[in-house]
Amino acid sequence: MSKTLSNFLFISVLCLCIANCANRGNPTGGEKDTTPPKIVKSVPENFSTNFNKNEIRIYFDEYIKINNLSKQLIISPPMTTTPEITPLGTASKYITIKIFDTLAPNTTYAFNFGSSIEDNNEGNPFSYYKYVFSTGDYIDSLTVAGVIKDATLKKPDDFVTVALYEVDSTFTDSIIYNKKPTYVTNTLDSLTTFVLENIKAGKYLLTAMKDENSDYKFQQKSDKIAFNPTFIELPTDSIYHLTLFNEDLDFRAYKPRLLSKGKIAFGFEGDYKNMGIDVLTDVPSDFAYRITKDKEADSLMYWYKPKLETDSLKFKVSYNNKVIDTFDVKITEKYPDSLIIKGDPSGQINFNTDFILSATTPFKTLNKDLISLIDKDSVTIPYTTKMDTLNNNITFKFDKAENSRYLLQFLPEAITDFFDNKNDTLQYVMQTKGYDDYPNARIILKNAKYPIIVQLTTESGEIKQEIYSTEPEPIDFKYLKSGKFLLRVIYDENGNKKYDTGNYLKKIQPERISYYPEPIEIRVGWDSEYEFTLK
């Protein structure tokens, strides 16, 4: 054999050996496991009757872990003491449920684990596993199904609790505030439909709730509520539609406090427009007061003068002319608030926007002889004003031309506040764009039931423009900003020109809102038209 051939064979064998060694050290691992875990057995067996145990074990064919159990697990009927479920945070081949409650007789219980069970290696979920047992001799098998929507939002919240309350001799409407429901389920994090299962025959109140405190009890301040307008009878084949809404808060008054010289804050919850504040302490004949709404907090500001030689003032707070409470306010030495005036908008102004003046102390008078509004050619522009004493602002309305500049000037003493403070010279410059710099949108409504409120909103529900309509007509939104908007129609059933929410105790459903199926896109240089057929 030649030397060249021998070298070639040696190198070939050497390369083959190296390749084989490399392959031994780098296994491919095979295909990824996508199979969820399987249940081997349950002790006691699932769907057991005459159940009298305090511990359940569910065995799997591989190691599993439990995630997000506090949100995913639904126990129906709810238990007073939460069962202990393990493992939490570690892997195991079985789940243990320890029950501490005394179970009700002849009752079917269901533990719905949602998507909380996964295999330990790849996280493959064993979704919607349910363990069911009955303390009686049969498993209740009736169901209630339905759909959840939100009164004002296009998509309802996640993790909405749906509940049934048995209507028996102890039932009252207040049950949702102080007792856990008879049966519950949850829409979890992806569904807008619900199915309540393993229910016995009977009459029930059907509700849904965004239960922020996870206690199955309705709290008006934090929770949304929905309810079927009539009791339901089981068995039934009906599909129920529930609309979640925030109730207007019931009125509540808080203890007032002195903030500065001549200024007392009266905190509240609910409808402040029907709130009355009256001083009960004897005051001099020249005593005067004003009430304004704080812009940031739920408080009414009670401004008074002159300074009183007293250690405290007594007030009566009423709501709808009914006395709610009386309060004593301690009077101490405080510095007075200074008069600071702000104008809005500053700089760019839209054609359909008014100029608004606000202040840190209540406005009293406006001397128009000391106020001027001129355009870029120094031509005087007519304007009108409207003073809102409760919100403590002054609105200036005037016609605007495109590509124009306006100067609104206040000479000294044009403005006087409640404490007779006056302004120094103030100047506000405003500029308009061209008409073509703003896109417009026309909405053609079909099958509308009037009166209605048509709104353009952001994804989160912030209102950008709205138009009130009482008869069939094109709805024209003008001088918009570019962007994507949601289009919705509010059915103003009581004709008060605003959206009205519902009330559970008064059995009032919220006014209906219909959304256009898709966001509408507004772009500069385009005037859009959309046809919206209402159902």
Band the pLDDT of 3: cuts 50, 70, 90.
very low
Q: Give the pLDDT confidence of 83-93 residue by residue, as tens digits.
A: 999 998 889 99
CA 261/CA 337 separation, integer angstroms: 7
pLDDT at position 125, please?
A: 87
CA 60/CA 131 separation, integer angstroms: 14
CA 268/CA 291 separation, integer angstroms: 14
**Which position has the higher pLDDT, 3 or 498?**
498
Q: For residues 258-279, give the mean pLDDT.
A: 96
CA 386/CA 355 separation, integer angstroms: 11
Q: For residues 288-296, give the mean pLDDT.
A: 96
For the chain, report the end-to-end CA distance as a whole number of angstroms: 94
CA 365/CA 211 separation, integer angstroms: 49
Pick the CATH number of 438-533 from 1.20.58.760, 2.40.40.20, 2.60.40.1120, 3.40.50.300: 2.60.40.1120
Pick the CATH number of 142-244 from 2.60.40.420, 3.30.70.100, 3.50.50.60, 2.60.40.1120: 2.60.40.1120
The side-by-side arrangement of strands in the sheet containing 322-330 is 275-279, 312-319, 322-330
Of 2-16, 341-355, 392-406, 427-441, the poorest mean pLDDT is in: 2-16
Q: Are strands 405-410 and 426-431 parallel, antiparallel or unpaired?
A: antiparallel
pLDDT at position 190, please?
A: 73
Q: Give the pLDDT confidence of 473-489 residue by residue, as tens digits.
A: 999 999 999 999 999 99
CA 182/CA 179 separation, integer angstroms: 9
Pick the CATH number of 39-134 from 2.60.40.1220, 3.30.1510.10, 2.60.40.10, 3.40.30.10: 2.60.40.1220
CA 152/CA 228 separation, integer angstroms: 18
The side-by-side arrangement of strands in the sheet containing 527-533 is 475-477, 440-446, 527-533
**pLDDT at residue 353 above 70?**
yes
Only one residue has tokens 């006395």, namely 323
> 171-177 — which CB contacts under 8 Å span 24+ positions?
171/205, 173/504, 173/505, 174/505, 175/205, 176/205, 176/207, 176/209, 176/217, 176/218, 176/225, 176/504, 177/217, 177/218, 177/219
- 3-state SS, residue 70: helix
* Domains 39-134 and 252-330 are alike in CATH topology: yes
**pLDDT at residue 459 above 80?**
yes
Is the four-CA dihedral 518, 519, 523, 528 of positive or negative sign? positive
**pLDDT at residue 287 above 60?**
yes
pLDDT at position 2, please?
A: 42
Band the pLDDT of 23: cuts 50, 70, 90.
very low
Q: Could you tell me if 241 and 194 are in contact, meaning their C-beta atoms sit under 8 angstroms apart?
A: no
Q: For residues 303-310, give the mean pLDDT.
A: 95
Structure tokens at 232: 């339901």
- 165 CB-contact burial (10 Å; exposed 0-12 / middle 13-18 / buried 19+): buried
Q: What is the DSSP string of 454-473?
A: EEEE-TT--EEEEEEESSS-
CA 402/CA 514 separation, integer angstroms: 35
Backbone angles phi, psi at 206, to 5 degrees: -105, 125
Of 9-18, 98-107, 442-451, 495-504, the poorest mean pLDDT is in: 9-18
CA 363/CA 357 separation, integer angstroms: 10
| CATH classification code of 341-436 | 2.60.40.3780
**Short-list 405, 403, 400, 409, CA closest to 357:** 409
pTM: 0.86
**Short-list 326, 164, 316, 181, CA closest to 233:** 164
Only one residue has tokens 């509540």, namely 252
Task: For the chain, give the percent of residues with pLDDT over 90.
Answer: 86
**pLDDT at residue 162 above 70?**
yes
Only one residue has tokens 């403590």, namely 392
Pick the CATH number of 252-330 from 1.10.3470, 3.40.50, 2.60.40, 3.10.450: 2.60.40
Q: Are strands 384-388 and 440-446 parallel, antiparallel or unpaired?
A: unpaired
Residues 6+ apart with CB under 8 A from 29: none
Q: For residues 2-15, give the mean pLDDT.
A: 40
Alpha carbon 97 to its chain centroid, in Å, reads 35
CA 174/CA 63 separation, integer angstroms: 46
**pLDDT at residue 355 above 70?**
yes
Count of Cβ atoms closer than 10 Å to residue 164 Cβ: 24
pLDDT at position 12, please?
A: 45
**pLDDT at residue 150 above 80?**
yes
Structure tokens at 219: 């709290």
Q: Could you tell me if 484 and 520 are in contact, meaning their C-beta atoms sit under 8 angstroms apart?
A: yes
**Short-list 147, 144, 169, 162, CA closest to 233:** 144
Domain parsing of the chain, residue ranges = 39-134, 142-244, 252-330, 341-436, 438-533
Task: For the chain, give the percent of residues with pLDDT over 70.
Answer: 94
Residues 6+ apart with CB under 8 A from 442: 474, 475, 476, 477, 527, 528, 529, 530
Only one residue has tokens 């349950």, namely 42
pLDDT at position 88, please?
A: 85
